[in-house]
Amino acid sequence: MNSKRKCLHCGEELDGRADQKFCNDSCRARHHNTHKNPGEQEIRRINSLLRHNRKVLRTLCPEGKTTVRKDVLDRMGFNYEYFTRIYRTQNNQVYFLNYDYAFLPLVQEGTKKVLIIQRQDYMDRYELPLWPEIDKN
Ligand SMILES: [Zn+2]
């Protein structure tokens, strides 16, 4: 029985603990990067976009509510296509939530702006009308 264990990434002989699989963190990371399944990579990509979006909203709106020009968010790399929930008001305004923050695109004096507010509990109670032909509220 061969007791010489080798790094799963580079093949270097290992002399550490019995359950050691890689010579170092760098080999471990490279191994996982090349073997990660595509679905997992997509999940990570989207999670990191959402996380970044939330950070932008939190930075711009440390408390309560604020309105900023769209180009400010653009410069911070905000991605409008990714959000965690939708909340639609009685007036059909659509808020896009990123976890505990929500943004509402609006136009003021011809300028694109974004209203940012912290998530409110009533937003969570909103249900998307997925079958509006049948489900009438
Ligand atoms: Zn290695």
pLDDT digits (tens, 9 = 90+) for 26-63: 999 888 877 777 788 888 899 999 999 999 999 999 88
For ligand 1, the distance from its centroid to the CA atom of residue 109, given in whole angstroms, is 60
For ligand 1, the distance from its centroid to the CA atom of residue 26, given in whole angstroms, is 8
Domain-located, residue 11: no
Count structural domains, the chain: 1
- Distance of CA 120 to CAs 32, 65, 79, 93, Å? 39, 11, 22, 15
Domain-located, residue 24: no
Domain-located, residue 29: no
The residues with which 98 forms a beta bridge, in sequence order, are 101
Domain-located, residue 134: no
For ligand 1, the distance from its centroid to the CA atom of residue 35, given in whole angstroms, is 15
Domain-located, residue 10: no
Which residues 6+ apart lie within 8 Å of 91 measured at CB? none
For ligand 1, the distance from its centroid to the CA atom of residue 31, given in whole angstroms, is 9
Q: What is the pTM of this model?
A: 0.73
Q: What is the residue range of 98's domain? A: 38-124
pLDDT digits (tens, 9 = 90+) for 112-137: 999 999 999 999 999 988 998 998 75
